[in-house]
Chains A and B, each alone.
Chain A
């Protein structure tokens, strides 16, 4: 069964450093998403991406964050100048379609980001 994959599974970085989280969405899916979950809190939407551009972003997704689809399979989240409060699980998700009631999003296993 096709699945979303993410690398690395755990990333430790120092405050102020830049990190890139990588995702390979399900191959026939057209919409890609990043979510994050701070320990003990709810899953929060960051950004959605379609046709090589951002379709929607949340208030969390400020200038510190960027996304890119550098090739036909990878989807990346870059976090610049990391802060302690960026420590969280980051989930990538993908869906075949969006904007219609019947679409479903499938999540990858996540990357645990620890900022020290």
Chain B
């Protein structure tokens, strides 16, 4: 049974700082990882996907994957108050047909 673990937070950063969100996973064969943002009472919104070791950048967001350490992270540069949300880490199940989510990390960006 795959597990995805996240620190629930809250993680508090000042506006303009770098927010670092971390995720570990239990199944060494996992290949695909996704970061979703979820505002309170809303649905998950896909931010980034990453499949290869290393970094992947998209605007202010950088996803980092280290398969040897079974570790995925999301960096948010120049954090804005509008980034305040819960960030969900997810991976695929064995068949690749379902997402397995972590509990999410709550980020609070203060102005």
Q: Which positions in A face B, CB cutoff 8 Å?
A: 31, 33, 35, 41-45, 48, 50, 55-56, 58, 89, 91, 93, 98-110
Contact = CB atoms under 8 A, between A and B. Distances in A.
B43 A48 contact: no
Given A91-B43, A108-B43, A103 B103 contact: no
Contact of A48 (B36, B98, B103): B98
Contact of A56 (B42, B43, B51, B97): B97
A107 B34 CA distance: 13
Nearest to A47: B98
A107 B95 CA distance: 20
Nearest to A31: B97
Interface in B47-95: 49, 51, 88, 90, 92-93, 95
Contacts of A56: 93, 95, 97-98
A101 B45 contact: no
Given A48-B97, A56-B93, A98-B96, A104 B34 contact: yes
Given A42-B102, A102-B51, 12 more contacts: A33-B99, A42-B88, A42-B104, A43-B88, A45-B98, A45-B99, A101-B96, A102-B49, A104-B49, A105-B99, A106-B46, A107-B44
Contacts of A104: 34, 46, 49
A58 B42 CA distance: 23
30 contacts: A33-B98, A33-B99, A42-B88, A43-B90, A43-B99, A43-B101, A45-B100, A50-B97, A55-B95, A56-B97, A56-B98, A91-B43, A91-B44, A93-B99, A99-B96, A100-B96, A101-B51, A101-B92, A102-B49, A102-B51, A103-B96, A104-B49, A105-B34, A105-B46, A107-B36, A107-B43, A107-B44, A107-B46, A109-B42, A109-B43
Contacts, number: 67
Interface of B: 31-32, 34, 36, 42-46, 49, 51, 88, 90, 92-93, 95-104
